[in-house]
Structure 1
Amino acid sequence: MKSTRRMRILLIKPSSMGDVIHALPVVSAIHRHYPDTEIRWLLQPAWRMLVEGNPAISETVLFPRDKFHGPSGWLRAISWLRILGDWKPDMTIDLQGLLRSALFARISGAPRVIGLSDAREGSTLLHGERVKVNRHDHAVTRYLGVLDHLGIPQPQAPEFALPESHLPAGFDTTSPYVVLHPYARGKGKSLDEGMIRAFIRGVTAQSEYRVIIVGRGKPITDFPQNVEDWSNRTDLLELIGILRASSFTVSSDSGPMHLAVALNSSKTLAIHLWSDPLKVGPFFGSSFVWKNGKTSPVSGLDDSWRGIGRPPTHQEMKALGQFAVAKGMN
């Protein structure tokens, strides 16, 4: 009797927010080409809201790494690893490219284990199939290289299928606003208080736009009346709701920046201090990048933008506030 079992694919991309967002076009393209395929996504619980409900994803496999510490954590880890191998996928795609993710791929028991050529920590030794990518390319481009390996056509426009959202209780939608996300996990990526206040002055100098501050970081007090600090107060779906309705968003190089780009590419500017905007910046050419005192659409970037940068001056942050208002009005 012929088996009716659907093809099963396990995608491993546990973190971080930006990396999970960058992998969304891969699962969308696979689902579009093979709609009957069952795709599960292994990721950390913090990012489950980004993929649960996605029509391409049948189920999430949560990797609660914080619960695996200590002697009792080892027992929980063993139980979790047993569950990982029980599903028996036909193929596992490791987009994380680290030793741990490659081990997970092997433990899954999939006959095909696929990784990228720029994987680290010796993880390529555990990948049965290696997709050749250019390590200088943008993450989205590198991840989409898996499609060529699988014989799936590249999408004309990568699809970032993000969840439905809602605004936090008490959020005012009656007047326009620009969003500032000043925080970042990477060392030296966040904007300091002086830069934040200079940006606010730039917005208020020529408009009645509100400034909405979002993200996770050290709170700042005594803002002007037209500034609302929603930092440390929103979940992911509320953050998506705020970014969706924003007239323009300015962000540090961070996960929420990539979220804003996926939601409204032409209304987002990323501030890059030392990171490479061609590799980890906004993906779409219609977005904007500030680095080393210059602002450009992503479509206008070249290799001269890859080098080490510097923090913006207060005058430059004020100018970025004015830029956000001008673009938000278009």
Structure 2
Amino acid sequence: MKKIAIIKLSAMGDIIHAMVALQYIKKHFPSLQIDWFVEGAFSGVLENNPHINQIIRLNLKGIKKDKKEIFSQLKLVKQHSKNSYDLVIDAQGLIKSSLVARFLGKNRAGFSKDSTREKLASFFYTKKIDIAYDKNAIERNAKVLSSSLGFEITKNDILNKEPFLFFKNEDKVIYDYLDTNKKNVLFVIGASWPSKIYSKEKFAKIIDSLDENCLLTWGNEEEKQSALFIEKISKARVLPKLDLNSLKAVVSKVDLVIGNDTGPTHMAWALNIASITIFGNTPGYRNTYQTSVNKIIESKSLVNPFKLDKNDFSINEIDEKEIVKIAKELLYEKKD
């Protein structure tokens, strides 16, 4: 096998969960060429990774706004079908991603019918991988990518991973915000749904309970306004607008990341940086990997991964003092 394509279109956290497999694929197949198909908005998280030969940026989300976009996207995918992939692995498990796989190559692997939400997607695969949908997302991605290639990535492998996000030529302004005399703590205050977002006021209380250099990152105007609000009522500092390359750099330089269940928080796990991920209406056991330095805190909601409740705002019931306690343990207690 000389050349494969991986399809993992979105979102940032899901892409990060899949990327962990790359280092193990390369250990088994050092000369293998790996191309990755992704939604353009998230391609930055893949950039500078030495295990990826080519990043192909798609705009399938744009089809919702402009139906004509389907023709340009179809043309783009068909052009890459000439790359003669020995295997195409769909790690997304959606109908749209399985259709991309269908046009890219004859040999296609992906989740089995009972292993993914959009069961029809499995119809397009020539090799189907079984793993329960409610299993840990990182293990699911590792399974579909490794089993498709005939080897196994173990839990021990995942726990002992090398950092796998890479950056270069980052915006040097970030170093103006990092403190050499205090611990640097990055707060990720946004998320894709309002009910996944922890209280601004409680974030501020956490910040004031930590006598450290606390930084706030944001990705859109609404998050920026939330960051400015927190800055106004606490000792935090708001970072400037950062692209994904510079965001990876910031995460790699801080001592701790505290944030909602969203892509930038998962960057910490990928970079072996200490983190606390706050969960309300999404399942902590499924959406991250706990380690000696990567911790989670959850609301008391009983979460059904097959049917997430976007009207569940229980995340705001989490006591900020519990987060402060975990943060101080991660920042100050010596590790064995």
Smaller-chain TM-score bracket: 0.7 to 0.9
Indicate how the Cα distance of structure 1 residues 309 and 291 shifts in structure 2: closer, same or farther if over 3 A, else same. Answer: farther
SS at 2:21's partner residue? helix
Distance 2:317 2:280 in 1: 12
Q: What residue is the counterpart of 1:249 in the other structure?
A: 257
Asked if structure 2 preserves the Cα contact closer than 8 Å seen for 1:243 and 1:249, the reply is yes
The answer as to 2:207 corresponding to 1:200 is yes
Pairing 1:260–2:268 present: yes
Aligned partners of 1:249 and 1:324 also within 8 Å: no
Equivalences for 1:132-281 in 2 at 5 Å?
132-146=130-144, 147-154=146-153, 156-158=156-158, 159=161, 160-164=163-167, 166=170, 168-169=172-173, 170-175=176-181, 176-203=183-210, 207=211, 209-216=212-219, 217-219=223-225, 220-221=228-229, 223=232, 226-230=235-239, 233-265=241-273, 267-281=274-288
> Can you give the 5+ residue segments of structure 2 that lack an aligned partner in the other structure?
none
In structure 2, the CA distance between the partners of 1:81 and 1:240, relative to structure 1 (3 Å rule), is: closer
| Separation in 2, partners of 1:245, 1:61 | 29
SS of structure 2 residue aligned to 1:145: helix
Asked whether the equivalents of residues 14 and 20 of structure 1 are also in contact (C-alpha less than 8 Å), the reply is yes
- The answer as to whether partners of 2:283 and 2:303 remain within 8 angstroms in 1 is no
Cα offset, 1:74, TM superposition: 4.0
1:79-158 equivalent positions in 2, closer than 5 A = 79-108=75-104, 110-117=105-112, 118-121=115-118, 122-146=120-144, 147-154=146-153, 156-158=156-158
Aligned partner letter, 1:52:
E
The Cα offsets for residues 17-43 of structure 1, whole Å up to 9 and x where unpaired, read as: 111111112222222111111110001
Q: Which residue of 2 aligns with 1:3?
A: none
- Deviation track 1:156-182 (CA, whole Å, cap 9, x = no partner) reads 423452103546413333232212112
In structure 2, relative to structure 1, the CA distance for the partners of 1:76 and 1:16 (3 Å cut) is same
Match of 2:232, SS?
A: coil
On the 8 A contact 2:6/2:88 being kept in 1, the answer is yes
Shift of 1:107: 0.4
Q: Which moved more, 1:252-261 or 1:26-35?
A: 26-35
Does structure 1 retain, via aligned residues, the 8 Å contact 2:282–2:303? no
Matched residues, number: 309
Q: In the TM superposition, what are the counterparts of 1:312-327 in structure 2 within 5 Å?
A: 312-313=316-317, 316-327=319-330
Deviations 1:199-224 (A, max 9, x none): 22322xxx3x1211113214133525
Local SS of the residue matching 1:62: strand
Rg comparison, structure with higher value: 1
Q: In the TM superposition, what whole-angstrom CA distance separates every residue of 1:298-324 from its partner, at most 9, and x where no partner exists?
A: xxxxx999898822458x224423542
How many angstroms apart in 2 are the aligned matches of 1:290 and 1:223?
A: 26
Q: Deviations over 1:90-129 (max 9, x none)?
A: 1100001000100010101x22110112223210111111
- Does the residue aligned with 2:315 lie in a helix, a strand or coil? coil
1:180 aligned partner, one-letter code? F
Residues 71/9 of structure 1: CA separation in 2 closer, same or farther (3 Å cut): same
In structure 2, how many angstroms separate the alpha carbons of the residues matched to 1:88 and 1:162? 28
| Contact in 1 for aligned 2:2/2:33 (Cα 8 Å) | yes
- Higher helix content, 1 or 2: 2
The correspondence for 2:51, drawn from 56, 60, 79, is 56
Q: Distance in 1 between matches of 2:322 and 2:171?
A: 29
Moved more, 15-24 or 67-76: 67-76
Closer, same or farther: CA 172–283 of 1 in aligned 2, 3 Å: closer
Contact 2:109 / 2:148 at 8 angstroms: preserved in 1?
Answer: no
- Structure 2 distance, partners of 1:293, 1:212, is 28
Structure 1 pair 173/83, CA: closer, same or farther in 2 (3 Å)?
Answer: farther
Paired letter, 1:227: A
TM-score by length of 1: 0.83
Cα deviation digits, residues 46-84 of structure 1 (max 9, x gap): 222322332221111111235555365344224213213
| Partner of residue 311 from structure 1, selected from 308, 315, 319 | 315
For 2:331, the aligned partner's letter is: G
- Rounded to whole Å, the distance in 1 between the matches of 2:188 and 2:110 is 33
Q: Return closer, same or farther for 1:11/1:17 CA change in 2, 3 Å cut-off.
A: same
- Seen in structure 2, the aligned counterparts of structure 1 residues 245 and 119 have a Cα distance that, compared at 3 Å, is same
